[in-house]
Structure 1
Amino acid sequence: MAKYVLLKHYRGAPAPENDVPMDRWTPEELTAHVQYMEDFAKRIEATGEYVDSQALSTQGTFVRSGGEGRPPVTDGPFAETKDLIAGWMIIDVESYDRALELAAELSEAPGAGGKPIREWLELRPFLTAGHPATE
């Protein structure tokens, strides 16, 4: 088994298959989108492939070491930016091909008008001791 994280990016710009940005979806469209992801997680939990997931706030802070004293802090990211991480899901699967299959299925979540948004999801393997994170 190999663990992967699926990173869901919020894009203020339209997705290729759905020309309505998420911040303009109706409450019903947003509810349907979230329900699709919850149902997906429940289904792969039953197969033992689901590990965890979480949606993230659009508010955040950038922090880095400033040497001594309080670290420098900058507001951001902001929902108005072109791209920010909106959430993640961790899966534990038998193969890279299975990870791709699940990512593609999750990409089909509905958006505006109930149409699949076919959003890009970033798929990253976890680094493990002694094993490179390449396929």
Structure 2
Amino acid sequence: MIRYMVQLFGSGTRWDEEIAEYSPEQFRAMVAHMGRINKDLAAAGELVEARGLAGPAKVLSVRARDGEPPLVTEGTHDGRETLLAGYWVVDVASAQRAIEIAARVSAAPGPGDSHNFPVELHEVPAQPPH
């Protein structure tokens, strides 16, 4: 088995506007879609963890400083356009299976036919790299 983190992104600069584009029905459909993914992954024994994250207003960046209190600022450390919106950690038999899961996440319903959220896969190695 191979662990992957499936990362779902939203716009860091347009987060509130993107959410406002959803009708109540579309938002419920998107949440139901994600819930079905979680249920199916749990039933298959592939789900390790899944979380949706708060928007950019809740992001804090922390940087250690030698001998001084850490520097804490609001927002992402680099003001990037995309922001991690949620993630799944899955334990799957192959990279192909992880790609199938990521594609299913990406195809969540949204304004229009499908939102096709940007999704990244990151392998989670069993051991730290040497």
TM-score when normalising by structure 1: 0.81
1:13-92 correspondence runs (5 A): 21-58=18-55, 59-77=58-76, 82-92=81-91
The alignment's C-alpha RMSD in Å is 2.4
Shift of 1:65: 0.5
Asked if 2 retains the 8 angstrom alpha-carbon contact of 1:13 and 1:21, the reply is no
Tell me which protein shows more helix as a share of its residues: 2
Describe the SS at the equivalent of 1:64: strand
Percent of paired sites with the same residue: 31
- Which consecutive unaligned segments of at least 5 residues does structure 2 have? none
Find the counterpart in structure 1 of residue 6 from structure 2.
Answer: 6
Shift of 1:110: 0.2
- Which consecutive unaligned segments of at least 5 residues does structure 1 have? 15-19
Say yes or no: does 1:126 pair with 2:121.
no
CA distance in 2: counterparts of 1:130 and 1:83, whole angstroms: 27
Tell me which protein shows more strand as a share of its residues: 2
TM-score when normalising by structure 2: 0.84
Choose 1-10 or 22-31, whichever is displaced more: 22-31
Whichever residue aligns with residue 74 of structure 1, its letter is T
Shift of 1:26: 1.9
Asked if 1 retains the 8 angstrom alpha-carbon contact of 2:10 and 2:118, the reply is no
